[in-house]
Amino acid sequence: AGNDTYVIDNTGDVVTENAGEGADLVRSSVSYTLTANVENLTLTGTSALNGTGNTLNNVLTGNSGNNVLSGGTGADTLIG
């Protein structure tokens, strides 16, 4: 349980992660807000999507669409 990768393809998908279990990544083809204890988000596909961070230091990476990336309160890196 560490450095996990989750694939999200439905707005109803939920990621549950415990604190201190590595740097986790969500790869999402739909607009997504990171849940607690998940650090990184990469938007996939070509659609215009929204990616939203949480209170951690997030890395949010957009896809080739017109994305809106919102980091939250951590020291975030926004790419795209």
pLDDT computed for residue 2 by the predictor: 80
The one-digit pLDDT tens for each residue of the chain (80 residues) are 689 999 999 999 999 999 999 999 999 999 999 999 999 999 999 999 999 999 999 999 999 999 999 999 999 999 98
Whole-structure pTM value: 0.95
Q: How far apart are the first and last CA of the chain?
A: 29
CA distance 58 to 28: 15
Sequence-distant (6+) residues with CB within 8 A of 15 are 6, 8, 24, 26, 35, 38
Report yes or no: 46 and 65 within 8 Å, Cβ to Cβ. Answer: yes
Q: Residue 51: left (phi > 0), alpha (psi -120 to 50), or beta?
A: beta
Under DSSP, the state recorded for 35 is: P
pLDDT computed for residue 1 by the predictor: 61
pLDDT computed for residue 55 by the predictor: 97
